[in-house]
Structure 1
Amino acid sequence: MNLYLIPNDPERTTLVSANGVAQYRVTTAKASALRSAALTRIERPAADATRGAGTVAEVEWRRWGAHACVRSSVFDGDEQTLEVRELLYKLGSTFSTARYFLGNDNEEYRWKYAKGSGYVLTKRSTGEEVARHTAELVKEGYFKGERQWALKIKPGCDLDIDLIVLTFIILERRRLEKSTKQSSEEHGEEPCEGGIEMSG
Structure 2
Amino acid sequence: MDQFESIVNLYGGAMPHLYRKFIEPRLKEDVKSLLAPHACTAPESNCGLEAFWCTMTRQGKLKGSVATPSRSHQSSLSPTPQTTEQHIMTLTLSSESVRNTVFTDERGLPMYKSTTPFRLGVRSTTISRHVASESRIEDPIEVVGRIDWHCFGSSIFTIGGMRLESSVFLPRHGLFGKKRTFTGPDGRRYRWDMYRRDVVLSVDDASRTEIARYHRATLGIIGKRRSASLEIAPHAEHMLDLIVLTFIYVEKLRMDKERQRRAAASSGGGP
Which of 74, 78, 84 aligns to 2:166? It is 84
Residues 7-156 of structure 1 aligned to structure 2 (within 5 Å): 7-32=95-120, 36-46=121-131, 48-49=132-133, 53-63=141-151, 65-73=152-160, 79-91=161-173, 93-115=174-196, 118-125=198-205, 126-135=207-216, 146-156=225-235
Name 2:83's counterpart in structure 1: none
From the two aligned structures, give the one with the greater helix fraction: 2
Name 1:140's counterpart in structure 2: none
Q: Could you tell me which runs of 5 or more consecutive residues in structure 1 were left unpaired when the two chains were aligned.
A: 74-78, 138-144, 189-200
Structure 2: distance between partners of 1:131 and 1:150? 10
Aligned residues: 169
Is contact 2:214–2:231 with CA below 8 Å preserved after alignment?
yes
Letter in 2 for 1:68: S
Once the two structures are superposed, what CA deviation does each residue of 1:52-77 show, in whole Å capped at 9, x if it has no partner?
621111111124x232101013xxxx
Q: Does 1:180 align with 2:259?
A: yes
TM-score (norm 2): 0.56
CA RMSD of the aligned region, Å?
A: 2.5
Structure 2: distance between partners of 1:43 and 1:70? 14
Is contact 1:30–1:37 with CA below 8 Å preserved after alignment?
no
Query: Which deviates the most, 1-10 or 162-171?
Result: 1-10
Percentage of identical aligned residues = 26
Structure 1: distance between partners of 2:217 and 2:232? 14
Between structure 1 and structure 2, the one with the greater Rg is: 2
Shift of residue 8 of structure 1? Answer: 1.7
Structure 1: distance between partners of 2:231 and 2:133? 21
Shift of residue 87 of structure 1? Answer: 1.3
Structure 1: distance between partners of 2:97 and 2:226? 15
Q: Could you tell me which runs of 5 or more consecutive residues in structure 2 were left unpaired when the two chains were aligned.
A: 1-88, 219-223
Name 1:162's counterpart in structure 2: 241
